[in-house]
Structure 1
């Protein structure tokens, strides 16, 4: 299902403009992470990074006469169907993670271990049994989850797709590249964490394309996944 958006966005002669947009976006996405305000803490800094990137994406969208609604931030036509898609995404993610856990030790390549759980205290504080801290940080976690779907599936996937619009495999390229970037951004190495994040992004990207390019099933699924992850750190 192709995106029904403005002619200005679809014109072949805008390929150069789309390429410039992506360069600006990715540069800001990674460079802004070099700015870390220690007094704010990890979550607040994460939101600062995502919101900065969100502003850049919105700016480039306005240049192309594209809105977030065009990219999928629109009211679902059927709430039950949307929830069903979210549940299906969650099931696919769980199955994929289990499969990866089974095969990762038998792969012919070396993969760095995932240290994200051990790093959780330095990022979020001591969550073990601390429900007050959990409740206080969850709004930021959920907002970050939503922003990641807007940026990675909404903006980045569509911009890469349109950049390769002259090829048959434009959508496949876009889904794969956004997953690679998403995984690398979560861990700047070839590790269990980066691969896991990449697999999740791959499933989200496929679901976005297959389920009518509405971002809400992805946002709901992403929020549930991160909520479960945070619960695991409290219990």
Structure 2
């Protein structure tokens, strides 16, 4: 006697979103990314506003991921299976990022590129307050800087790279394009121009993106490196 044929019902059917669905998600996500930054609560400082923007994007990404049945674990927030390997990845990504920045600085000087000057020191005072000799302020704001660093890696590397890939059918070309595109968005979003700062930030995003793909798409090494880079940047202002 033949066994009964199992009917495919909406409950047991596996629905795989199309690349067009992920492309629509990207349009929504990137639009919100830039629109939300038009909201600035003047009664609060820059760090508070920055975290507000990031948490709005975290909520947006989470909603889109739920719609597509993708978890944060799948895109990199998982417990490392090999701590030693993760540590080596962290060291490599940090070194690769620093070397990439130094190469850019050398080429910029040798080629005589005319870029908008880096106003990061003046901007930092307006954003974070005068950190010169102020260790109390430094230790007060650093936990929020680290939180922001983690959110940027989760969203810019974890979410954006994966969604761009899926929108382009997850080919090798899609991966290359995704790493480049997220770096450009990351750099531009930090200064809204083509300046030394935006290019430097884009290079950091590119190095992080390469590290993300090269080391098993584990976000933790990237988060640690980003926190370390921002700590060094803030220490330079104390």
Structure 2 partner of 1:178: 182
Give the conservation status (yes or no) of the 8 Å contact 2:165–2:171.
no
Structure 1 partner of 2:198: 194
2:27 is aligned with 1:23: yes
Structure 1 partner of 2:226: 222
Give the conservation status (yes or no) of the 8 Å contact 2:54–2:148.
yes
Task: Measure how far apart 1:110 and its partner are.
Answer: 3.1
Gaps of 5+ in 2: 1-13
Structure 2 partner of 1:3: none
Structure 2 partner of 1:33: 37
Cα distance in 1, alignment partners of residues 234 and 113 from structure 2: 30
Cα distance in 1, alignment partners of residues 81 and 44 from structure 2: 39
The structure that has the greater radius of gyration is: 2
What is the number of equivalent residue pairs in this alignment? Answer: 225
Task: Measure how far apart 1:209 and its partner are.
Answer: 0.5
Cα distance in 2, alignment partners of residues 121 and 171 from structure 1: 38
Change (3 A) 1:219 1:168: closer
Cα distance in 2, alignment partners of residues 166 and 145 from structure 1: 27
2:127 is aligned with 1:133: no
Structure 2 partner of 1:62: 66
Gaps of 5+ in 1: 1-6
Task: Measure how far apart 1:174 and its partner are.
Answer: 0.5
Cα distance in 2, alignment partners of residues 65 and 200 from structure 1: 30
**Please, what TM-score do these two structures have when normalized by structure 2?**
0.91
Structure 1 partner of 2:5: none
**2:120 match: secondary structure:** coil
Change (3 A) 1:108 1:213: same
2:232 is aligned with 1:232: no
2:78 is aligned with 1:74: yes
Structure 1 partner of 2:165: 161
Structure 2 partner of 1:87: 91
